[in-house]
Amino acid sequence: MKIHIQCCCLLVLLPVSLQAIADNRVSIREEGGYRYIESNGLPDHSTGQFPNSGNPNSISAQNHQFRVTLNPQKSGNATPVQLAGVAVNGVPMEPGTAEFWNQDRSSGWRIQAQGPGVNLGLDQNHAHVQPGGMYHYHGVPTGVINNASSSLIGWAADGFEIHYAGNQSKSSWRLKSGTRPSGPGGKYDGTYENDFEYVAGSGNLDQCNGGDLNGKYVYFITDDYPYIQRCVFGIPDSSFAKRGPGPGAPGGPDSGRPPEGREGMPPPPEHGHQHPPPPRR
């Protein structure tokens, strides 16, 4: 499969209210075979108003320190990820949620962030805020795209690039037909991740939203589910392991639940992981 990018694709969405973030700080350097992305997690674009009716949290500066290999290798196995990657502005990409049907994660019916069932307070960038103040993307990062000079949006946890190509990239995930056999019941409508299934060849991307771009394998952010890839074909770096305050922190919409994106997914394999050296000051 080959996807050819002619120019940067832009999305323009007009939010009802804007909250400007003017103190974005990000450092990107290459050293010893790795790319280091360090940031305060504040976006370089306007956001929606936080707190809001679906998200009671305020954006605050973080201490993000990510590392990705400069020589990613694709394997034959897809590994589920919690933090899928990091954007060029230093803001994390976390497609999964911690919300489940009937507040029962053992049910396996995970609520989809952009589904019609629950308002999670996403802004015009398809992002919202965790109780610890971490702003993160659940879908197409509109502000990043509008600021970009190319299709490159960021890097996945395994080191492969993440691009946005608009309708030139088409997901192979599809909404199931019929009704749910268990749990919430009712028609498959996209409220839950389980409402979707991977149908190889139905789009031009693989199960991890990956494909060929000018002769190299990359992941694509798509306008439709899964939006941001929820698995990787390389080895995710341990710097993307979920840690610190998250949606389970007191006062958050996910109070009492595990951090976003972790339920029902096996942890990334430890083989080949190394902790990144202390960042250079």
What pLDDT, on the 0 to 100 scale, is given for residue 22? 60
What is the pLDDT confidence band of residue 258, given thresholds at 50, 70 and 90?
A: very low
Whether the predicted pLDDT of 66 surpasses 90:
yes
User: What's the confidence (pLDDT) of residue 243?
Assistant: 55
pLDDT at residue 32 in the model: 98
CA distance 37 to 91: 10
pLDDT for position 272: 32
pLDDT band of residue 76 (cuts 50, 70, 90) is confident
Say yes or no to pLDDT of 277 above 60.
no
- Would you state the pLDDT for residue 19? 53
Looking at residue 117, what is its pLDDT? 80
Flag whether pLDDT at 74 surpasses 60: yes
Indicate whether this model's pTM tops 0.85.
Answer: no
Q: How confident is the model at residue 215 (pLDDT cuts 50, 70, 90)?
A: very high
Residue 204 has pLDDT above 50, yes or no: yes
Which has more confidence, 75 or 30? 30
**What is the per-residue pLDDT for 122?**
98
pLDDT band at 259 (very low <50, low <70, confident <90, very high): very low
pLDDT tens for residues 175-189? 999 999 999 999 999
Q: pLDDT band for position 242 (50/70/90)?
A: confident
